[in-house]
Amino acid sequence: MSNINLIDSFQEFKEFKNIDRPTVISVLEEVFRSMLRKKYGTDENCDVIVNPDNGDLEIWRTRKVMEDGFSEDDDLEIELAEVKQLDADMEVGDDYIEQITLESFGRRAILAARQTLVSKVLELEKDEIFKKYKDRVGEIVTGEVYQVWKKETLVLDDEGNELIMPKTEQIPADYFKKGDTVRAVILKVDMMNSTPKIIISRIAPEFLQRLFEIEVPEIFDGLITIKKIVREPGERAKVAVESYDDRIDPVGACVGMKGSRIHGIVRELKNENIDVINFTNNISLYITRALSPAKITSIKLDDVTKHASVYLKPDQVSLAIGRGGHNIKLAGKLTGYEIDVYREAGEEDEDVDIEEFSDEIDSWIIDELKAIGCDTARSVLALSVDELVKRTDLEEETIKEVISILQSEFE
């Protein structure tokens, strides 16, 4: 046959999504040159001509015409008697050019070439996917859920590339089924056994940051900067923001009119409670804002140990700690300070330091209660048994016993 059509001969081309045609054609040319070397010992006197527009490929072989009996290398030269049978006009010293057809290589060589080609292009495709996603770490990607397993979910992007979302990178309230559209941030890209493994996450702080950049134009434009984000995925998040333009209120811009901007983010994060606070270098003020919505009475700081003692009115203690202790934990992560909250008792409000009960209550139990801000008897009694069970590692029976001991003090 006069030429070799790549599309007809190698249908696999149609399946390669991430390789451009010139690269594939370059690989194909190298594959055919390898076939020429195996058949003729050299490819230096061969021209492989590829037409990238229609996929046609031609191979031409050139040999020098020699006098009979003077040919030293039949791969590079051809004797006059032999060439006269092919072309009567040939003379000694001429270049004899012949076209090499696909059939001349033989069926086995063609099958081997096909296998080599597919293997090389698949390797290139994997490298391209790896490079593409390696440069996109930290970006949001949208895909379709293809398969859900116990420990991870397989998501396909719009090009059919596989993205893995481990269960540990999903919001606890996430529930996916095949065909669902999901948004996540590209967490990391590794090459495992020559195959790119793309891990995506919905719990990473970067995911929340990208959502804010999408919803808040001032952040995308650089007028507002997100200084830090801390999260308890699906429960609560705190976002510290700062404006470079005095005319822009960073908190108001992030929340939007009647919460219009932040509502979409909250829905995406399965109703995660998001506190947006104004960043400041004033640590006392920063901690006060971080413990919102609780109102702080006073703060004592130890900058050496990065410790803050926060004093609040009795009705503000539970707000500062938050459900499950999330509020105080996130405030500590956001500010970099270990925060202890203390209940400020009024003059008329008789109370007893919980350490006073060390003869009746084990010290480790007292430490558990103090860790959640319950440093006095009344601060413990102000919380229900269920609330104390949630916030501490104590058993319900232990808590009931503690409450009984404390109540007897005020009877």
Q: pTM for the complete prediction?
A: 0.64
Q: Is residue 36 part of a domain?
A: yes
Q: Is residue 381 part of a domain?
A: yes
Q: Is residue 78 part of a domain?
A: yes
The pLDDT tens digits for 145-173 are 999 999 999 999 988 889 999 999 999 99
Is residue 358 located within the same domain as residue 318? no
Output the domain CATH number for residue 302: 3.30.300.20
Mark the ranges of the chain whose per-residue pLDDT is less than 70: 1-21, 52-55, 345-350, 411
Instruction: Please tell me the predicted confidence (pLDDT) of residue 322.
Output: 85
Q: Is residue 92 part of a domain?
A: yes
Instruction: Please tell me the predicted confidence (pLDDT) of residue 53.
Output: 64
Q: Is residue 83 part of a domain?
A: yes
Instruction: Please tell me the predicted confidence (pLDDT) of residue 54.
Output: 64
Instruction: Please tell me the predicted confidence (pLDDT) of residue 174.
Output: 93
Question: Domain of 374?
Answer: 352-407
Please give the full DSSP string across 319-381, using - where no structure is assigned: HHH-GGGHHHHHHHHHHT-EEEEEE---TTS---BGGGGTTTS-HHHHHHHHHTT--BHHHHH
How many independent structural domains does the chain possess? 3
Is residue 290 located within the same domain as residue 310? yes
Q: Cα–Cα distance between 356 and 23 in angstroms, integer?
A: 78
Among 345, 376, 394, the domain-final residue is: 345
Is residue 357 located within the same domain as residue 341? no
Q: Is residue 327 part of a domain?
A: yes
Is residue 3 located within the same domain as residue 100? yes
Is residue 54 located within the same domain as residue 85? yes
Is residue 287 located within the same domain as residue 386? no
Q: Is residue 229 part of a domain?
A: no
Instruction: Please tell me the predicted confidence (pLDDT) of residue 175.
Output: 92
Is residue 380 located within the same domain as residue 334? no
Among 295, 330, 345, the domain-final residue is: 345
Q: Is residue 46 part of a domain?
A: yes
Long-range contacts of the stretch 76-80 (C-beta < 8 A, 24+): 76/42, 76/45
Q: Which amino acid is at 49?
A: I
